[in-house]
Amino acid sequence: MKTILATLVAAASLAAVTAAASAAGTHEGEHYAFGEPGRAESVTQTVLVDAVDENGEMRFVHEPLTIKQGDVVKFVVTNRGEMPHEFSIGDSPSQRAHALMMEKMPDMKHENDATAITLDPGETKELVWAFTKPIKGQIELACQMPGHYAAGMVSKAKMVK
């Protein structure tokens, strides 16, 4: 009985991961679990973010983040590293699913993805996100270039009341 239950649980969690990965894989959904694309005129706070990769250590550098539900945040991201980086918004479950998918499809591009921007070295780009929904887990700002998320290129923040 124990074995059957364990198998069922494993099958169920695999199905959940697969569903999350394929949902993110389309990159076309207008429905995100963690908010929606924001409008420039509604911005409530601006956060400056540096993407760095000194000595092989890849990370995002920014002031501590405090985000409340309803905030519209403009992220101004500058790639100060020597390799291309990505800056994507998500919650913990979506970023984990995205990282798993990138391992399987490393060439995936995000041109039409409202949750992500890609930056060449020296580039600065903006992304405005409206945190209209309660967050599952934490807010995660992540680079989804293959291997970068696993190497620690992720910055987490809790949504405050």
| Choice between 71 and 95, CB closer to Cu ion | 95
**Strand 85-91, strand 139-142: pairing:** antiparallel
What's the closest the beta carbon of residue 3 comes to Cu ion, in angstroms? 41
Interface ranges with Cu ion (CB under 5 A):
85, 143, 145, 148, 153
| Choice between 98 and 148, CB closer to Cu ion | 148
| Choice between 99 and 128, CB closer to Cu ion | 99
What's the closest the beta carbon of residue 40 comes to Cu ion, in angstroms? 25
- Which residues lie closer than 8 Å to 74 by C-beta, 6 or more apart? 38, 40, 43, 45, 46, 47, 126, 127, 128
Residue nearest to Cu ion (CB): 143
- Dist CA 128 CA 76 (whole Å): 9
| Choice between 57 and 126, CB closer to Cu ion | 57
What's the closest the beta carbon of residue 148 comes to Cu ion, in angstroms? 3
- Find the DSSP H helices in the chain: 2-26, 92-104
Bridge partners, residue 36, by sequence: 130
What's the closest the beta carbon of residue 51 comes to Cu ion, in angstroms? 6
Q: Do 141 and 155 touch, CB atoms closer than 8 A?
A: yes
Could you tell me how many residues make up the chain?
161
